[in-house]
Structure 1
Amino acid sequence: MFINLNQNQNLKLFKIISEVAAANNQSVYIVGGFVRDLLMKRKASTDIDFVTEQSGIELAQNVGKEIDPKMKVSVFKTYGTAMIRYKNLDLEFVGARKESYTENSRKPDVEGGTIEDDQKRRDFTINAMAISLNKDNFGELIDPFDGIGDLEKEILRTPLEPAQTYSDDPLRMMRAVRFASTLNFTIEENSLNAIKQEAERIKIVSMERIMVEFNKIMLSKKPSIGLRLMEETGLMKLIIPELIDLKGVEEVEGQTHKDNFYHTLEVVDNISENTDNLWLRWAALLHDIGKAPTKKFVEGTGWTFHGHEFLGSKMVKTLFHKLKLPLNADMKYVQKMVKLSSRPIALITDDASDSALRRLLFDAGEDIEELFTLCKADITTKNSRKQERFKKNFQYVAVKIKEVEEKDQVRNFQPPISGEEIMELFNLKPGREIGILKEKVKEAILEGEIGNDHEEAKRFVIVEAEKLGLTLA
């Protein structure tokens, strides 16, 4: 079977590489994800991998010279690879190789090989296809494991025996789940059973590499596909056991609670319909993480999860540290979202006071709209009347918040009277009294006792300062 590359936008580049390889007695093939996506008619990848049965570094250097004598070629001698940045493309060149593994490492021993050897070492049949750029068979699809058939069937299958494939490089288990989630493919039964069998091997993979795959699952159109597979195969229990702790329904005196694990997956899918913000999706994943350790049955009340948002927000930092995720503003954002995740829900069930709305605005700040996106995603009831009522209540609270914001401007709250001005009024040096008075001003504004106005705040400070025994300068 031949692939018609004549209409491909990269045809000119492929012809140059073909000619350079021929001039230097080298073979060359396009391999991997680019071939898969081309056959699936997906958006063209900007990463293109080329394999030669000779030196990948030499081929890259010769291609670079042909395109532009000044072109930079990045060489990675340890891996036998070289990269070229060409226009908007990342081109990687590597020599075909055979691999063998030791039990405690996913880093293989490598030796030179043929294109067939190189295809055998790949993770899935749909990624093991190659397109020849050689002059005698330019455009021929080389597909020894029927990857094109698996593309048509939408299944993920390993070229070689699956248990050995996953044991050799356990990251492939996460890649299987990721491709199932991003492509909406099914993991072939033998392969799925092999992942269950080899799941423990994931422990030898660095958490950073695991999280690269996990975040791709989180950014897929329907993340629950991958998250359910991780639960089913045992990978989730090994990577984020805190989520598995949410599984199950207990019954006491005829009263049950919902399964918070499967509820969480619904929330993640719901929010993914409305945002591509990875960290907001993480907030959805972790919004109920504190429910397992706070779950309690109270006689006469039923199941309670008091303080689960507060505990959950504290757990976020521990989790991010363990998962080698960034401990920066992104982590703090997720913490804040988890901590505030139930606040809007509480407001829509009552006749919310302006004071409560001001406090929510103050605490959420610029993230108020994204907090509402999270809370709407949290509505997973199948009762259409309940859903409609929640949505109407959300709209009502959104209107009230807008009114309060326009009137009091507390979203990005800055005290209308500064610490410097307070020091001048009472001839004070920096000290605890300044902090006390500024806090009192903030509380008075949030409670609606005074407006967010300089003159009102100044009069209020003078009265409160007198209570502290301070007198005007």
Structure 2
Amino acid sequence: MRNITNADLAKLLDKDIFHKISEAADSLGLECYVVGGYVRDLFLERPSNDIDVVVVGSGIRVATELKNLFGKKAHLSVFRNFGTAQVKYRGVEVEFVGARKESYSHDSRKPHVEDGTLEDDQNRRDFTINALAVCLNKERFGELVDPFDGILDMEDGIIRTPLDPDITFSDDPLRMMRCVRFATQLNFIINDETFEALERNAHRIKIISGERIADELNKIMLTNAPSKGFVDLQRCGLLQLILPELSMLDLVETRNGKAHKNNFYHTLEVLDNVCKSQIASDDDGEMMLWLRWAALLHDIGKPRSKRWDNVAGWTFHNHNYVGAKMIPGIFRRMKLPMDMKMKYVQKMVDLHMRPIVISDDEVTDSAVRRLMNDAGDDIDDLMTLCEADITSKNQVRKQRFLDNFRSVREKLADLKERDYKRLLQPCIDGNEIMEIFHLTPCREVGALKQTLKDAVLDNKVENERESLMKLLMHKAKSMGLV
């Protein structure tokens, strides 16, 4: 975090968009402030594209005037039912809202809204670090308004509500998810009083839609160390309500002096390991999030498959199969996508034991080829998940597994290359062409080889001897070789 004076803020906001907002508000005689995440991220030196502006008065009027100042290059959207407006200009989006105060009924997170002052508007903010405001009017341009010491909380790395946290969370229970999400994203600690309110109000999450909860969970999942968020969700009682299948893993049973590991904390370690692998490989692919979901859910079948064996101790046979069968129900309940993303997670959960079984024995071509066939294009993701799943504290055992997995990866690479050649290199080679047509190495042989190769690559003929021989003879005849 950096220390920023009002003069520094004025320099950081010395941009055309902010000066034009200032001009629009001053022309209407209205106070306006840039608020929330944009201001917070200036201090935390984080990139932010979301510009939210609060107007003491009509935000729609200032947005309309800003559109007039920019002319045809700007686009204005007005949402009168919500008293908000949006202006888009050269890739920048600015949201405008009038300062307001809110009151809530117990069974809804939709507030009753009234016009208010800047103080009223800051009072309704979720956390002190999001209640910062910087004036944009010309006479006070760059002046910080921080009534709840949000700057000090950022310095201390604390998430805290501006007012009574019980009221804050009861009024809008989604703020409980946002509390955990911000703590995870920023690597902050939730203030004790605020955390105790999370515990007291966790049951209120039931009035929040699955889509909103899933959106916050996805944001937690996309942090560098999402385990922090899931530990907080478990500690405050939210996880038991939104994802009980995962919460149930937080249990260790002992019988005859034998205990199994805590599969909840094992799962979170696997999740963080996957994140580290993706960060190291600079992976920003579309399926990155869903591999993390696969890591989070890879062992959810263990509570249902757990058995005690007098000889072997605790067993979890077929937990991968049991877990895979649970995935569609979890995704449906949580309003996560039921398309190929769900099927991908289900496949990863189902197959996550296969490479381990292979690496325990001699790594044979046939076993690896069957794995490649079942995993398809997702084989590399599966191997990443399986390597992340090695969390043994026994370094010798852990290294043995990693060495075996390296053997599996080497075998995969070798088979991919060999199968590529087998599938895409014509089964009639140059030596056979020379023998058939009694030729020595020459341009004609190269031309015939290229004809066969192009046909196979373009999928014009099957890479089979009979089909290729017909094409070869036809081409040779056109070249006067037969």
TM normalised by structure 1 equals 0.85
Counterpart code for 2:337: P
Structure 1 residue aligned with 2:194, among 191, 195, 199? 191
* Counterpart code for 2:113: V
Alignment match, 2:338: 327
Is 1:235 the equivalent of 2:238? yes
The question of whether the paired residues in 2 share the 8 Å contact of 1:365 and 1:412 is answered with no
Q: Shift of residue 364 of structure 1?
A: 0.8
CA shift, 1:59, in A, is 0.8
- The residue identity in structure 1 corresponding to 2:21 is I
The separation in 2 between residues aligned to 1:169 and 1:379, in whole angstroms, is: 40
Alignment of 1:359 with 2:362, yes or no, is no
Instruction: Tell me whether 336-345 or 297-306 shows the greater mean CA deviation.
Output: 297-306
Cα deviation, 1:357-393, whole Å, max 9, x if unaligned, reads 1110001111111111101110111222222222211
Deviates more, 1:68-77 or 1:325-334: 68-77
Q: 1:100 to 1:363 in 2, by over 3 A?
A: same
| 1:164-215 alpha-carbon deviations (Å, 9 max, x no partner) | 1100000000000001100000000000000000000000111111111111
Q: Aligned match of 2:360 in 349, 352, 357? A: 349
Alignment partner, residue 116 of structure 2: 113
Q: In the alignment, which residue of structure 2 is the partner of 1:302?
A: 313
The letter of the residue matching 2:261 is K
Counterpart residue number, 1:96: 99
Identify the match of residue 318 of structure 1 among 329, 340, 355.
329
The 3 A distance-change label for structure 1 pair 336 and 3 is farther
Partner in structure 1 of residue 417 of structure 2: 406
- The range that moved more, 188-197 or 52-61, is 52-61
Unmatched 5+ stretches in structure 1: 417-451, 457-473
Equivalence for 1:449: none
1:157 aligns with 2:171: no
In the alignment, residue 108 of structure 2 is paired with which amino acid?
S
Query: 1:129 touches 1:143 (CA, 8 Å); kept in 2?
Result: yes
**Are residues 70 and 7 of structure 1, via their aligned partners in 2, closer, same or farther at CA, if it must alter by over 3 Å?**
closer
In structure 2, C-alpha distance between the alignment counterparts of 1:247 and 1:149, rounded to whole Å: 35
- State the match for 1:279 in structure 2: 290
Kindly report which structure 2 residues correspond to 1:169-180, keeping only aligned pairs within 5 A, or say none: 169-180=172-183
Write the deviation string for residues 425-472 of structure 1: whole angstroms up to 9, x where unpaired.
Answer: xxxxxxxxxxxxxxxxxxxxxxxxxxx97469xxxxxxxxxxxxxxxx
Q: Is 1:4 aligned with 2:8?
A: yes
2:11, 2:277 → 1: CA distance?
35
- Residue 128 of structure 1, aligned match among 128, 131, 143: 131
Deviation of the 1:409 alpha carbon: 4.8
Question: Which residue number corresponds to residue 222 of structure 2?
Answer: 219
Alpha-carbon distance change, 282 to 10 in structure 1, aligned in 2, over 3 angstroms: farther
Distance 1:412 1:104, change over 3 A: farther
SS at match of 1:160: coil
Large movers: runs of 4+ above 6 Å:
410-413
- List aligned pairs for 1:407-426, cutoff 5 A: 407-409=418-420
Which residue, out of 53, 64, 84, partners 1:81?
84
1:32 maps onto 2:36 in alignment: yes
CA distance in 1, matches of 2:296, 2:306: 18
Q: Which amino acid aligns with 1:159?
A: P
| Percent of aligned positions that are identical | 52
Q: Is the 8 A contact 2:9 2:143 kept in 1?
A: no
Q: Distance in 2 between matches of 1:410 and 1:295?
A: 45
**Matched residue of 1:74: which SS?**
strand
Does structure 2 conserve the Cα–Cα contact (< 8 Å) formed by 1:178 and 1:217?
yes
Q: 1:210 aligns with which of 213, 222, 239?
A: 213
Query: Cα offset for 1:407?
Result: 2.6
* Distance in 1 between residues matched to 2:201 and 2:249, nearest whole Å: 24
Aligned residues: 419
Q: Which runs of 5+ in 2 are unaligned?
A: 279-283, 428-461, 467-482
- Residue type of the alignment partner of 2:238: L
Structure 1 window deviating more from structure 2 (16-25 vs 3-12): it is: 3-12
Residue 427 (structure 1) aligns with = none
1:208–1:323 Cα contact (<8 Å) kept: yes
1:402 partner amino acid: A
Alpha carbons of structure 1 residues 133 and 9: separation in structure 2 relative to 1, 3 Å: closer
Task: Using the TM superposition, name which of 354-363 and 81-90 deviates more.
Answer: 81-90
Residue 223 of structure 2 aligns to a residue whose secondary structure is coil
1:3: Cα distance to partner? 4.7
Gap change, CA 1:221 and 1:370, over 3 Å in 2: same
